[in-house]
Structure 1
Amino acid sequence: MDKTQSELNRLLYDARHNTELRDKLLATRNAKDPMNEFCKVSQDLGYNITIGGLFALGQDMNDSKLRSVNGGGVDGIDGWDDAYETFFYSLK
């Protein structure tokens, strides 16, 4: 499993069981730069999550899905490559 995915899974688990952490993460969505704030808060709390890691993870997930159709899919599916949004969807 990818290191960023592992950290996101750990953060998601912790946020589901800690209302204060969950609220702190959700509040980052209102920041001027939400992804940067999300990563900063996560790192401050000991989770190794970076913007680059989030983008790479999303791209890897999308690429894997395209490879899995054995040549049948030629375009990525919008939204499948957004690990950041997927995290918040799973948190709510």
Structure 2
Amino acid sequence: MLMNDEYQSINCDDYESLELACQHNYTLKLELRDGEKLEGKANELKFTKGIEYLIIDQAGNALSLRLDHILSFTHPKIGTVVVSLSD
């Protein structure tokens, strides 16, 4: 994972795409900014201590991903979204 502790919000349109994925429990293919690739079912978005997280289910295990660590995510219904950080 990236070691930068300062959270940077993501673009509103990208956030809305993640909200849609959570509402429909889409299984997403994700690529993180450190090059890690993973897949999981989008469950919810959480805001904790000033940081936003995507909670995904990977084979019954909940995994929290900081939104600013996500480089891109893909699902057939929403396409590939390259996550932009807010200015």
Structure having the higher strand fraction is 2
Question: Max radius of gyration: which structure?
Answer: 1
> Does the pair score TM above 0.5?
no
TM-score normalised by length of structure 1: 0.30
Structure having the higher helix fraction is 1
